């Protein structure tokens, strides 16, 4: 990854940071720029600002020089009244699913740094890679359009669907509404070629067309993206001090590694000192220990990932695949607490956490636990058919003949 973000003293605002050649005429360019400028001026949203790291992270290197405000922060922390917890155990939840609407979840924290670098390099488009219902790809597509960049998505799907219209379910609807360019690749081809080579291939083609692409890795997980959750630790630290809560443990799902790298490193360096528990929803724990180590080494942190985070396997049937029991759990938690978990990430992490609490109650006894909800609500729409039998409580309302009826009484607002 280029380090231009760390070397340039400043970056220009989005409206002038790149070419607008794809816009049909200058009047539309001016209109688009004015809208972007107006949005950026509203309480700092979309604004570019110099970045100052937490004092406890100031020795890390390289340090980003700028950040682009994309998330609605701080996200709230509240008590989560889960059933059947060990004795005197409290679980709290940090709602990173509320960091935005179309642009929400843990990915937006990483994108604040990655998009700043893209603009600093003069990019006019971004490329990223993910699964067919990737939350990261949806967030990237929305962030790109907010900043007047085009977005190219390489989405992994089944072999039989790789040459068919991907449809409009869940994240795909938002991606296509904001005009993202979608390239489909089969899981088999993806496994043989890899995300890096696929992104590089598309980058070469776009450069040949005169474009200036910037590649964002899977999940936004590189050393630069890791700063998103180093910043999140500063936010948790401040919230903990304000509310006088000392968390013993922090639990989170792991899908690409950047979130746990920032959380675990930040927890060690800051005053939090909480033990980090990650539940991997794809690949193996050993893979994520190695990958996280690479991100930490990229920041010259001199730390061992095995000492920073405890990673457990929670992928079950596989990435984005669910058993009926897992989907039933998501439904039960929503009905019991009002918190809707996604089935791909936080749902599996919560199952893993509660299972470990049940099997090892003494380990969690009297602990204050912070669970980080990483978003992904739109992924539930891809599970509608599987969940139909789990939701009910509907009926036609019975209204007998004694109820007065006068035409025009009920207004159809």
Half-sphere exposure at residue 299, Cβ-oriented, CA atoms within 13 angstroms: 28
Between CA 394 and CA 347 the distance in angstroms is 25
Find the DSSP H helices in 249-345.
Answer: 258-269, 285-297, 305-308, 324-337
- Catalytic one among 134, 223, 264, 280? 134
- Best CA proximity match to 383, nearest among 171, 176, 108, 174: 171
Q: Are 308 and 299 in contact (CB under 8 A)?
A: no
Q: Are 104 and 97 in contact (CB under 8 A)?
A: yes
SS3 205: helix
Between CA 159 and CA 310 the distance in angstroms is 35
Between CA 126 and CA 118 the distance in angstroms is 8
Q: Are 66 and 119 in contact (CB under 8 A)?
A: no
Known catalytic membership, residue 134 = yes
Tokens of residue 190, six digits: 């993806």
Between CA 375 and CA 387 the distance in angstroms is 19
CB atoms within 10 A of CB 124: 21
Tokens 């590089």 correspond to what residue? 200
Of the chain, the end-to-end C-alpha distance in Å amounts to 54
What b/e sequence results for 361-399 when a residue is b if at least 16 CB atoms lie within 10 Å of its CB, and e otherwise? eeebeebbbbbbbbbbbbbbebbeeebeeeeeeeeeeee
Tokens of residue 176, six digits: 């296509």
SS3 295: helix
Rounded to 5 degrees, φ, ψ at 353 are: -65, -50
Q: Strands 368-373 and 90-95: what pairing?
A: parallel
What b/e sequence results for 79-101 when a residue is b if at least 16 CB atoms lie within 10 Å of its CB, and e otherwise? ebebeebbeebbbbbbbbbbbbe
User: Mind telling me the catalytic residues?
Assistant: 134
């Amino acid at each position: 990854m280029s380090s231009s973000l760390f070397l340039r003293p400043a970056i220009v605002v989005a409206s002038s940071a790149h070419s607008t050649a794809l816009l049909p005429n200058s009047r539309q360019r001016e209109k688009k720029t004015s809208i972007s400028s107006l949005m950026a001026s509203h309480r700092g949203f979309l604004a570019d600002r110099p970045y100052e790291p937490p004092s406890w992270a100031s020795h890390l290197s390289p340090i980003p020089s700028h950040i682009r405000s994309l998330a609605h922060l701080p996200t709230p922390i509240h008590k989560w009244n889960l059933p059947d917890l060990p004795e005197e155990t409290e679980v709290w939840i940090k709602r990173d699913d509320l960091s935005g609407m179309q642009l929400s979840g843990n990915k937006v924290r990483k994108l604040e740094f990655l998009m700043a670098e893209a603009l600093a390099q003069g990019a006019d488009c971004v490329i990223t890679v993910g699964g067919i219902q990737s939350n990261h790809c949806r967030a990237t597509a929305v962030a790109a359009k907010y900043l007047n960049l085009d977005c190219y998505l390489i989405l992994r799907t089944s072999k039989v669907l790789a040459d068919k219209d991907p449809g409009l379910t869940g994240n795909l609807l938002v991606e296509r509404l904001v005009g993202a360019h979608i390239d489909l690749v089969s899981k088999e081809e993806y496994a043989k070629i890899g995300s890096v080579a696929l992104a590089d291939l598309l980058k070469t083609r776009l450069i040949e067309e005169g474009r200036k692409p910037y590649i964002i890795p899977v999940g936004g997980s590189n050393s630069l993206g890791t700063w998103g959750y180093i910043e999140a630790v500063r936010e948790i630290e401040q919230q903990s001090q304000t509310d006088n809560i000392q968390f013993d443990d922090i639990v989170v799902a792991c899908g690409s590694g950047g979130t746990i790298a920032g959380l675990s490193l930040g927890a060690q360096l800051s005053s939090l000192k909480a033990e980090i528990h990650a539940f991997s929803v794809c690949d193996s724990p050993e893979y994520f220990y190695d990958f996280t180590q690479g991100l930490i080494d990229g920041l010259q942190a001199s730390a061992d990932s095995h000492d920073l985070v405890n990673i457990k396997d929670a992928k079950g049937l596989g990435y984005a695949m669910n058993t009926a029991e897992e989907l039933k759990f998501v439904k039960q938690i929503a009905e019991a607490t009002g918190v809707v978990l996604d089935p791909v990430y936080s749902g599996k992490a919560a199952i893993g956490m509660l299972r470990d609490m049940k099997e090892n109650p003494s380990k969690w006894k009297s602990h204050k636990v912070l669970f980080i909800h990483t978003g992904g609500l739109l992924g539930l729409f891809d599970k509608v058919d599987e969940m139909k039998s789990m939701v009910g409580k509907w009926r036609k309302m019975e209204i007998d003949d004694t109820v007065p009826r006068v035409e025009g009484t009920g207004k159809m607002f």
